[in-house]
Amino acid sequence: MSKVLILSGAGISAESGISTFREADGLWEKHAIEDVCTAGCLDMNEEGTIKFYDARRVDIENKKPNYAHKVIVELKQKYPHDISILTQNVDDLFEKAGMKEDEIVHLHGYLRELRCRECDEIFDIAYQNQDSFAHECPSCGAKLRPNIVFFGEAAPKYQILTQELNSCKLIVIIGTSGNVLDVTYFAQLTDKSILNNLEPSNAIDDSYFTKVYYAKATEAIGEIAQYIEDFLENE
């Protein structure tokens, strides 16, 4: 458990060229949530769902981390025990910036992985199509699925989020509209809080935050990093 929790969403990867979900040109403009990202979609639309995540994997293969990912990786390396990194993102841009697997928690799953629908074994398939990797689980023979938490499904890693929220004193929110996670509530649980988005969101009450930056993450991250360092040095 750490003193500082950095929680990111789709906005932190927007400047690397990965679409956010809710903005004008976002993914939901082109795909219905219920078809590809809602509990049961694998039963109703298996082929379409698998194709959607195959395309997302191809999309992230050549995407590069931006300055915000890199600064956060450096902070984590400098204060490994004082900072926890949790993300709603399913891309691998923090990992490409040098974050180790055990230094980051992907709350909503990880695109590079498939999971067995029966035995829950996880397979890192990098950027391959699901069917090029295997038609069934190499361990038990059951069906495989993208290791993504669909709306309406349990998110087991929220347990880690709850633990971190109970211990952290500063929460830093970057690039999330707050529609999935109630970040206004999180800000009320901690002594200090920072919010960085491009613009205000209907799902966030920014008056609860100690500091608010409406700016690109790559532009705000310098000041945010300085705030975190000052906070930890004075703790």
Nearer to ligand NAD, 168 or 183 (CB): 183
179 near ligand NAD, rule: CB under 6 A: yes
Q: Which of residues 135-154 bind ligand NAD (CB under 6 A)?
A: none
Instruction: Say which residues have a Cβ less than 8 Å from residue 68's Cβ, sequence separation at least 6.
Output: 12, 15, 174, 217, 218, 220, 221
Identify the DSSP state of 101.
G
**Residue whose C-beta lies closest to ligand NAD:** 11
* Cα–Cα–Cα angle for 148, 47, 123, rounded to 5 degrees: 40
Among 201, 209, 227, 231, binds ligand NAD (CB under 6 A): 201
Q: Is 211 helix (H, G, I), strand (E, B) or coil?
A: strand
Among 18, 42, 114, 224, binds ligand NAD (CB under 6 A): 18
The span from the CA of 215 to the CA of 211, in Å, is 12
65 near ligand NAD, rule: CB under 6 A: no
9 near ligand NAD, rule: CB under 6 A: yes
Is 108 among the catalytic positions?
yes
- 108 vs 89, 137, 156, 203, CA distance in Å? 7, 21, 9, 19
Using CB under 6 A as the criterion, which residues of the chain lie in contact with ligand NAD when the complex forms? 9-11, 13-15, 18, 20-23, 26-27, 88-91, 108, 175-177, 179-180, 196-199, 201, 216-217
Catalytic positions, written as ranges: 108
